């Protein structure tokens, strides 16, 4: 039986754990107890530990494991003034984790990066070999960690890795109060007739991928690929205004939106090229944005959170 250790039990980590479990993998999840631990399948082993304590983490990793790093260490809204704390809390522990995984002779190290923050602001679809231009501190950390992984591979010549640059996943069981992704927040505001404060520009273009498609794509890359950087998304460009319209249509509610301006730079166009993913795995997303939003509304009406 294949074994995977997932570091981080947030939105993506918990859904990935369940998906690999359904595929008959032996799954172990490391992280702090959260709202997402309650949705883990019963046969998944959850270890409540501080993932930045590498001494504890290394005890849970064995030779031949696939290690998937799904932890969201730095907040996407962090500013330059937060960098020092981020470096002290997360960078050193990540370096030690790479050393540990290399020493344990793991099967593969899988890192979830961010297609939404590592590429530059451009109207063209971003490819994996494009020059990276992180737009914020969150993206800067992702790029730094990506390069650490590649350097570790070169220096050790024995560190199989996979870097997945993920766009904007949504759907499934998603906590709308953590404000991770605009779609669940919009749906929650609509269903509860609450005011939504929007910072930014509604004409900004993004790539959204439904959680089921994300899980299938990630599983395919883990099974088939090695030493690759892969974009994972829908490949479709959608404005925030279009997302708002779809949520209002499918909830049959008019959202009371208060528009605010922000001093932070807004990426106006973030579109990713998924042709490499398709070419190497045969994967194509199967869920349209409207279908995904409808499914998310149905899930959120169950009021898991």
Q: By the 8 A CB rule, do 19 and 41 touch?
A: no
Reported confidence tier of residue 201, pLDDT bands at 50, 70, 90: confident
Location of structure tokens 């591979």: 153
Residue 186 to residues 128, 139, 195, 214, 243, Cα–Cα distance (Å): 30, 24, 10, 21, 9
Identify the pLDDT of residue 261. 75
The mean pLDDT of 183-196, rounded to a whole number, is 95
Residue 258 scores a pLDDT above 80: yes
Question: Quick check: 126 and 231 in contact, CB under 8 A?
Answer: yes
Query: With 90 as the cut, is the pLDDT of residue 220 above it?
Result: yes
Phi, psi for residue 217 in degrees, rounded to 5: -65, -45
User: DSSP strand E in 15-167: where?
Assistant: 26-31, 45-48, 66-69, 108-114, 161-166
- Complete domains list, the chain, with CATH: 3-168+208-232 (3.40.50.720), 172-206+236-270+287-300 (3.90.25.10)
**pLDDT at site 128:** 97
Query: What's the pLDDT score for residue 236?
Result: 94
Q: Are 20 and 36 in contact (CB under 8 A)?
A: no
pLDDT digits (tens, 9 = 90+) for 23-67: 999 999 999 998 899 999 999 999 999 999 999 999 999 999 999
Average pLDDT, the chain: 92
pTM given for the model? 0.94
């Amino acid at each position: 039986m294949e074994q995977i250790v997932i570091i981080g039990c947030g939105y993506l980590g918990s859904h990935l754990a369940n998906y690999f479990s359904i595929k008959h993998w032996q799954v172990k999840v490391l992280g702090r107890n959260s709202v997402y631990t309650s949705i883990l399948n019963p046969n998944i082993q959850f270890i409540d530990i501080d993932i930045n304590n590498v001494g504890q983490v290394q005890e849970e990793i064995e030779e031949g494991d696939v290690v998937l790093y799904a932890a969201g260490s730095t907040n996407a809204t962090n500013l330059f003034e937060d960098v020092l704390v981020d470096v002290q809390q997360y960078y050193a522990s990540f370096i030690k984790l790479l050393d540990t995984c290399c020493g344990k002779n793991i099967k593969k190290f899988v890192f979830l990066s961010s297609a939404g923050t590592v590429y530059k602001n451009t109207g063209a679809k971003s490819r994996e070999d494009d020059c990276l231009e992180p737009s914020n501190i969150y993206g800067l950390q992702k790029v730094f960690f990506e390069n650490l992984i590649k350097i570790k591979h070169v220096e050790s010549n024995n560190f199989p890795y996979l870097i997945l640059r993920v766009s904007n996943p949504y759907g499934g069981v998603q906590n709308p109060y953590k404000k991770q992704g605009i779609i669940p927040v919009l749906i929650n505001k609509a269903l509860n007739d609450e005011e939504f404060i929007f910072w930014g520009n509604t004409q900004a273009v993004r790539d959204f991928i439904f959680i089921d498609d994300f899980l299938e794509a990630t599983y395919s890359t883990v099974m088939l690929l090695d030493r690759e950087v892969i974009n994972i998304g829908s490949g479709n460009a959608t404005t925030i205004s279009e997302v708002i319209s779809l949520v209002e249509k499918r909830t049959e509610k008019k959202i009371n939106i208060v528009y605010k301006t922000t001093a932070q730079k807004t990426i106006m166009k973030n579109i990713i090229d998924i042709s490499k993913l398709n070419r190497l795995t045969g994967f194509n997303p199967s869920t349209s944005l409207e279908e995904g939003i409808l499914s998310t509304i149905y899930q959120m009406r169950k009021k898991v959170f």
